[in-house]
Chain A
Amino acid sequence: MIDWLDGVLRGFINPYYYGILVTIGINIILALSLNLVTGFTGQLHLGHAAFMAIGAYTAGLLSTKAGFGFAGAVIVAGLVAAVAGVIVGLPTLRLRGDYLAIATLGFGEIVRITLLNLDITGGPFGLRGIPRQTNLPIVILAVLFSFLVLRSLVNSRMGRALIAIREDEVAAQTMGIDTTRLKVTSFTVAAFFAGIAGALFAYWFRYLNPSSFGFMVSIELLAMVVFGGLGNLLGSVLGAGVMTYLPEFLRTVAPAIAERRLVFYGALLVIVMILRPNGLLGTSSEQGWLEIWLARRRSQGAAGRVGSGPGAGSEAPPATGGAGHGPA
């Protein structure tokens, strides 16, 4: 069935776009799972590429050294990444959010250095000889599976608890939410999906190298989630799609910009946070300058245009604190 579907898709899509679509799919799974931790639970996670690496190397080793089949290797890869998620999450998620950022960053580096220094992973030479068994229908199925699982998760009682943690952790705790347990759970689920994405990555590119899972990959994933919208799953799909395709597109049109894309990603993160911290489709209650400015213009318009032109709103809007910011 899947083979038949793959044949049909390959007939319709040229190999170049087929490859891009597979990469987009893998990135969508990664962005969705990162969104669970960062967007819904509000914990900045800077080591998502490490869970992807763990999944990818697990699958790669299982298939080349232990003779595992595709399905088995992918599932085990997800589980191994989930276990790693518990191990990292349990100590660090007890602490306040900003420590998690550094701890996950450090964890990501440790994973990369370990992969670089182990013999079994091929070290800097990488791991070769993985069969190509990922194809577009499988990726689409995996994307649908992760989307549906994560959607029912965030719409459940647990998902509401996660959002409560994001909005105010102390208040959530006061309401009887076991914040540490839930944070670890969301972290573990995210690690599981990142592991699966990593395994699909391994079976698609057939060659693994620690440098494919560096810190900048985690940052690109974060940029996808932030751009698409923190706390919105469709936003992550959109963010991953646009930010995977755009560099490919720019590579043909303006290669200089595609090469320097990290400059723009960095600026994008800052600008989005200032203007609209929710990204395109975010759901948190936080407002940025853009929303405050629009709200002020609207209220000014309602008050009957008190002598000021459209330029009046351009003076530092949040100085007086807009809606949602509370008293100073």
Chain B
Amino acid sequence: MPGSGAVWRRFPARTGFAHRAPSRYDWEETTGGACLAQASTLVLYRCAAERGAPLFAQQLINGLVTGSTYALIALGYTMVYGVLQLINFAHGEIYMVGAFTGLLLVTVAKLPFPLALLLAMGGTAVLGVTIEFIAYRPLRRSSRLSVLISAIGMSIFVQNVALWIWGPSTRSFLPPFPVTTFTIAGLRTNTLDLLTLLVAVLMMVGLHLLVTRTKLGKAMRAVAQDRETAALMGINVNRTIAFTFAIGSSLAAAAGVMVGMLFNAVTPSMGVMPGLKGFVAAVLGGIGHIPGAMVGGLVLGMAEVLGVALLSSQWRDAVAFAILILVLLYRPSGLLGRRTQEKV
């Protein structure tokens, strides 16, 4: 591994075993992919040495749970991008509305949790389709810039309407079921974490089956490949696009409800950061590529945990964007995506 020597030379200087000013060569060896490998080696070593291995593994579990919610959000971005080549900026807001709907159904309507989750997903599916109908469908033939600006406008609109209706304060979202903490192989986890993972895995498996095994899935893939030819083959393109929005939005709602409970907090601005990170995850995995979004979400969740361990928690959000810019620089097609040439 090129550059790994630098880790070992730099390591003592940072932990104070030997007081040596870091030489400038330490940084010069750090380029591109080697940088990530180097950083992760460093983190692994620091955590193992200073805080004990379990703590690091513990962090990885947190990364896995957060990452699976990013993956759920990323799927919505990637599916919409696949069929429309559009960044649905309002996706983070759909996630936020999903969290609010779930919270209100559980606390105000006193519905049992699984039903509340399903209804929240259904409600946001309607919202997603409505957004598509109002803000994107009239612009199907417009320039990309117009659609992007419209998407941004929709995102701002939904977020501020939510702020208007629900107020800026953070609402508590206690899980409506007992949460027990237990230890597996020396690692503490709880039923909420496991439920989040379970929900995410179920959704992803369901989505995979939907896309690969059903007629609707086939139509979605056809529209993604070539909208006009799909229309010529008798596929109702508008309906397929609407379904894509519905499915993507309901996945985001599931993520919103789970995250609302994980952090015990629901606010109108909660969609902004996860929305952006979901997009980063989608780009990381290869935008338009469904398994890529799943992998991208998990990798991003882990990378954030590594970033927090290496720097500090204030830099958590910056890590995601640094990853985005690195991906765009070195592998714009993402981890799993294929390089494509723009067609004229």
**A103 interface residue per 8 A CB criterion:** yes
Please give, as numbers and ranges, the residues of chain A lying within 8 Å of B283 by CB-CB distance.
Answer: 99, 102
Q: Does A152 contact B (CB under 8 A)?
A: no
A98 within 8 A of B: yes
Q: Which of B138, B148, B160, B324 contacts A98 (CB 8 A)?
A: B148
In the complex the two chains form, what is the Cα distance from A257 to B143 in whole Å?
32
Q: Does A328 contact B (CB under 8 A)?
A: yes
B134 beta carbon closer than 8 Å to chain A: yes
Tell yes or no: B194 within 8 A of A by CB: no
Asked if B21 is at the interface (CB within 8 A of a chain A CB), the reply is no
Residues A53-100 near B (CB distance < 8 A) = 91-92, 95-99
The answer for the CA separation of A38 and B149 in the assembled complex, in Å, is 10
Query: B152 contacts the other chain (Cβ, under 8 Å)?
Result: yes
Contacting residues, chain A, for B325 (C-beta < 8 A): 91-92, 103, 106-107
Chain A positions within 8 Å of B321 at CB level: 106-107, 109-110
Interface size class, chain B: 35 or more
With contact pairs A106-B276, A262-B160, A263-B164 given, residues A270 and B134 touching in the complex (Cβ less than 8 Å):
yes
Bound-complex Cα distance A105 to B280 (A): 11
B322 at interface by CB-CB < 8 Å? yes
Residues from chain B with a CB closer than 8 A to the CB of A286 are 142-143, 146
Closest Cβ–Cβ distance, residue A226 to chain B (whole Å): 6
Residue interface bits B37-75, CB-to-A below 8 A is 1, else 0: 000000000000000000000000000000000000000
CB-based nearest B residue for A174: B344
Measured between beta carbons, the chain A residues less than 8 angstroms from B158 are 266
Minimum C-beta distance from A132 to chain B (A): 31
> Of the candidates B139, B147, B156, B318, which one forms a contact with A219 in the assembled complex, judged by CB atoms under 8 Å apart?
B156
Instruction: Tell me which of A97, A105, A114 contacts B144 (CB under 8 A).
Output: A97
Indicate whether B179 reaches chain A with its CB closer than 8 angstroms.
no
- Is A274 located at the chain interface by the 8 A CB criterion? yes
Q: How far is the CB of B321 from chain A (nearest CB, A)?
A: 3
CA distance A98 to B86 in the complex (A): 8
Q: Which residues of B contact A38 (CB under 8 A)?
A: 145
Binding site of B, secondary structure by majority: helix, strand, loop or mixed?
helix
- Shortest Cβ distance from B161 into A: residue: A263
Given contacts A263-B164, A270-B134, contact A277 B317 (CB under 8 A): no
What is the CA–CA distance of A33 and B149 in the complex, to the nearest angstrom?
Answer: 17
Given the known A-B contacts A266-B153, A270-B153, are A113 and B315 also in contact in the complex, defined by CB atoms under 8 Å?
yes
| A158 touches B (CB below 8 Å) | no
Contact yes or no, B164 A269, CB < 8 A: no
Whether B150 is near chain A, meaning CB under 8 Å from some CB there, is yes
A318 touching B152, Cβ below 8 Å:
no
The answer to whether the Cβ of B279 comes within 8 Å of any Cβ in the partner chain is: yes
- Please give, as numbers and ranges, the residues of chain B lying within 8 Å of A273 by CB-CB distance: 139, 142, 146-147, 149-150, 153
Contacts A267-B153, A286-B146 given; 20 further ones with Cβ under 8 A?
A92-B328, A95-B332, A98-B148, A103-B325, A105-B276, A106-B324, A113-B315, A117-B314, A216-B156, A219-B156, A222-B152, A226-B149, A260-B160, A265-B156, A269-B152, A270-B154, A273-B153, A277-B143, A318-B141, A325-B141
Which residues of B are in contact with A by a Cβ distance under 8 Å?
A: 85-87, 134-135, 138-139, 141-150, 152-161, 164, 228, 272, 276, 279-280, 283, 314-315, 317-318, 320-322, 324-325, 328-329, 332, 342, 344
Query: Across chains A and B, which 4 residue pairs bring their CB atoms closest together, nearest first?
Result: A269-B153, A266-B157, A106-B321, A266-B156
In the assembled complex, 25 residue pairs joining A and B whose CB atoms fall closer than 8 Å, in A order, are A44-B148, A44-B149, A46-B152, A101-B148, A107-B325, A109-B276, A110-B318, A113-B314, A113-B315, A260-B164, A262-B156, A262-B159, A266-B153, A266-B154, A266-B155, A266-B156, A266-B157, A266-B158, A267-B153, A269-B153, A270-B134, A273-B139, A273-B149, A274-B135, A274-B150
Which A residues are within 8 Å of any B CB, using their own CB?
A: 38, 42-44, 46, 91-92, 95-99, 101-103, 105-107, 109-110, 113-114, 116-117, 166, 170, 215-216, 219, 222, 226, 230, 260, 262-263, 265-270, 273-274, 277, 284, 286, 288-289, 318, 321, 325, 328
